[in-house]
Amino acid sequence: MTNNTLADLIARIRMGAQTRKKSIKVANTNIARRLVDYFVKQNLIISYQISADEKNLEIFFRFAVGSNANVLAQVSLISKPGRRIYLKFGNLVTRYKKKEHILISTPAGLLNHRSLLGGLRRFRLSGEPLMIVKH
C-alpha cells in the first residue's frame, strides 16, 4: 500500500497507457473516483467499474482512432505531499496551454482550469493544482 494514492494512481495510468493495456486496476478512494469521473466526462477514458468488494476500480482506456496510442499521452503530478503548490486565480489566466487539462482541488471540489476561467470566473476560486493531463 502506498502513502500517496494520487501518485500511485498517476503512475498506474501512465504505465498502463505506455504498455497499451486495455484496463488497469487501482485502489478505490474518493480522489481516485473523482479523477476517473472527470476523465470519463472529458472522454479521456472509456469507463470504469468498481469491483464487487468495493476495494478496486478497473479503468478502461480509450485509444486514438487508427492507432494504438492512448488518448492520455502524458499525465504528471504538480503538487506533491513534500512540495505543496497553491495557485491564486490570477496565476491561472496565463499559465497553461490549450491542449492541457489542469486538475485543481478547490473549496468547490475538483475542477479543471477551464471551468475556473470560464463560467466560474465570478467566484475567483483558487486552489491546489494536482496534475496536468496532456493529450
Q: How many CB atoms lie within 10 A of CB 52?
A: 7
Domain extents for the chain? 5-69, 78-134
Q: Does domain 78-134 have CATH number 3.30.1490.10?
A: yes
pLDDT of residue 127: 78
Top pLDDT among 116 and 36 is at 36
pLDDT of residue 119: 53
| 44-95 pLDDT per residue, tens | 888 999 999 999 999 998 776 655 556 666 778 888 888 888 877 666 655 5
pLDDT of residue 129: 81
pLDDT of residue 79: 81
pTM assigned to the model: 0.76
pLDDT over 70 at 35, yes or no: yes
Q: Taking residues 101-128, report their average pLDDT.
A: 71
* Among the four given CATH numbers 3.65.10.10, 1.10.760.10, 3.40.50.2300, 3.30.1370.30, the one describing domain 5-69: 3.30.1370.30
User: Between the CA of residue 89 and those of 6, 26, 42, 104, what are the distances in Å?
Assistant: 23, 32, 22, 11
pLDDT of residue 17: 80
pLDDT of residue 59: 92
Q: How many CB atoms lie within 10 A of CB 72?
A: 21
